[in-house]
Amino acid sequence: MPPRPTRPRLILQELHTETDNDSTESDNDGDFSAAVANALTPREKRDLQKAQLRPLANLRPELYDEDDYSPDELESMMAMYNGTMASIEEGEIVKATVLDIRDNMVVLDIGFKSEGTIPLEEFKDLPDLKNGDEVEVLLEHLEDMEGSVVLSKKKADFMRVWERIRVAYESDQPVNGTLVKKIKGGVVVDLMGVDAFLPGSQIALRRVPNVDELLGQSFEFKIIKLNKRRRNIVVSRRVILEQERAGKRDRLMKDLQKDQVRKGVVKNITDFGAFIDLGGVDGLLHITDMSYGRIQHPSEMVQIGMELEVKVLDIDWERERISLGLKQLQSYPWKDVAEKYPVGTRVSGKVVSITNYGAFIELEPGIEGLVHISEMSWTRNVRHPSKLVSIGEAIEAVVLKVDPNEEKISLGMKQTEQDPWMMLPQKYPVGTRLNGKVRNLTSFGAFVEIEPGIDGLIHISDMSWTKRVQHPSEVVKKGDAVDVVILNIDADNKRISLGLKQAQDDPWLKIGETYPVNTELQGTVVRLMDKGVVVDIGNDIEGFIPISHLNFGEPVDSPADIVWETMKLDVRVLEVDPIQRRIVLAVTNIPAEQPPRPETPSKVIPMESDDYNMSDPIPMPVTFDIVDE
């Protein structure tokens, strides 16, 4: 064989590289060209050779001039070209020998003094690769921009398994794969050595909280999308699971019945319960059906992967919902609870919940009792249970009531101590004088603390012997220390009546001596009534001027025609009645100097009003509350 000229070799390489890009042409093309060439005359053979090389002239005219070559040179170059094409061709899988393994690449010899390199990561399936090993690679290009052969083992693997993948896709058959690494939107799956994409929504039937836990595991997948040109393979595990679930669901629909006890595995845990796999179909074990006792989160009872027995509580195949219960397999704790906790029993428990109206006490798992806010203290007016107890605190209480049907137990904390109110009548007999602190004022009186936690009420009618008190603030203020007298103690209703005026001598016993009949006085109008006027004559004493004695004996239609509140009048005492606690007066003179008359006329109170008869007591309220501030 004659030596290959340098320039024809370059032409053949360029021709092969730039014109032969269709990987579907077979090696039979070279054999066919040789047969045709043998049947031609030398002249026709030369024309054929020129025609075959002419495409190169169109691409790289500077490298080709057919007039520079003799027929023998062209014959020699075509033989070289056809021989090369028969032996090695782009797009083919060829055998290569490992020449060297470097840090990040492998050097390979594919024959014909041609060498190429492939990244080392493409040989991850051959951990024991060494020099001299023979591997199959894809010849992508005979020569790149740097004159090197371009090889790929990854693409060779892809072409080898592509047919199997295509058949599996077209026949809808599952294939095995391994989850390799997590990427944006999903996971890379090793499918027979080829990378496929598994979208995140196709990993499982429900969202997987931690995909990293699945990496390295192998599963069956369905190929749902295939594109050879883009080397794009999309797979799904969810399709497989849905098919399995559909089959298991059909079997379970025949076998599963309400009230059955089934084994299951905890698949997922939420704040409201846990999903249990019954063998293809999931059921919900709600947090309220996990235990008769109080639990804060389902994780206190179950863990993912735990196997447990549950009872089927309800089945709704249309909505695909199965309700399960765990506590229903346990003994009912409220059975015989009345015998276990009879009324009056002293019990101990732990505070598990606090509300505005009381605290719930766990006596045992599944048994809770309520201490109402009114049953927490004998003496304190508790505004909120948290003022006395806290979550987790151990307390003692007494059973007040048991209702097994409603699953309720009423408890009392204050019943663990003696009721101090029962001792008050003996401790403070009626008439006892005490000194207390004014704790609160109301429209009808003032509350005075006589000992810690125990208050008594000074009614407004018991604040002054002589003055008609409109509001307690006219006599006392909050925080004042006052002397009072015990008027009455109602231990059953927790009420104490106190008197402020009773701690002083009754001035009406001597008022007749102080203000004898015909005594001349000056008073101030404080109230107008339809039958007269109430006048303050000093020393917190009020007298009454009948309308007939208001205008020096002259007739008057209404007191408002003559007088107004704060007006000054000279009066004379007509009558003093200590028993009825009243003084009757008559006007003797109206001083010239008077405070200005208000633009709005003073209110005239009807005679039937309580204000007319100053001796009438102000009605006591039916009930009153002791306010703790």
Q: Which residue range forms the structural domain that includes residue 313?
A: 256-329
What is the spatial distance between Cα 129 and Cα 135, in angstroms, rounded to a whole number?
Answer: 9
Domain-embedded: residue 486: yes
Q: How many domains does the chain have?
A: 6
Residues 538 and 597 in one domain: yes
pTM, rounded to two decimals: 0.42
**Does residue 379 form part of some domain?**
yes
Do 358 and 429 lie in one domain? The reply is no
CATH number at residue 355: 2.40.50.140
Of 468, 461, 467, give the one whose Cα is nearest residue 445.
Answer: 461
- Is the same domain home to 292 and 366? no
Which of 32, 60, 87 terminates a domain? The answer is: 87
Residues 517 and 579 reside in one and the same domain: yes
> Do residue 532 and residue 489 come from a single domain?
no
| pLDDT at res. 27 | 43
Same domain, 489 and 527: no
Question: CA-to-CA distance for 340 and 369, rounded, in angstroms?
Answer: 13
Query: Where a domain ends, among 386, 415, 444?
Result: 415
Residue 627 lies in a domain: no
Q: DSSP secondary structure string, 205-218?
A: SS--S-GGGGTT-E
Looking at the structure, tell me whether residues 341 and 265 fall in a common domain. no
pLDDT value at residue 615? 37
The answer to whether residue 248 is domain-embedded is no
pLDDT recorded at residue 12 = 36
Q: Which residue, 452, 476, 503, sits at the end of a domain?
A: 503
Q: Within a domain: residue 394? A: yes
Average pLDDT across each block of 10 residues of the chain; the chain has 629 residues. List them in order: 37 38 41 50 55 50 54 65 57 86 87 79 83 86 78 81 84 90 90 86 83 88 84 88 79 81 88 85 88 85 89 85 88 85 91 92 89 87 89 92 90 87 86 90 91 88 82 90 91 88 80 83 88 86 87 81 89 86 88 86 70 37 35
Distances (CA, A) of 425 to 4, 154, 326: 135, 101, 56
Say whether both 443 and 489 belong to one domain: yes
Give the count of alpha carbons within 13 A of 603, CB side only.
4
Same structural domain for residues 394 and 424? no
Same domain, residue pair 107 and 26? no
DSSP string, 484-540: EEEEEEETTTTEEEEESGGGS--GGGTHHHHS-TT-EEEEEEEEEETTEEEEEEETT
Query: What is the total residue count of the chain?
Result: 629
One domain, residues 424 and 395: no
Is position 225 within any domain? no
Angle at 122 between CA 119 and CA 128, to 5 degrees: 105
User: Is 430 part of a structural domain of the chain?
Assistant: yes
Residue 213 lies in a domain: no
Closest by CA position to 158, among listed 236, 232, 235, 234: 232
Quote the pLDDT of residue 36. Answer: 47
**Do 290 and 277 lie in a common domain?**
yes
Tokens 């001792």 correspond to: 423
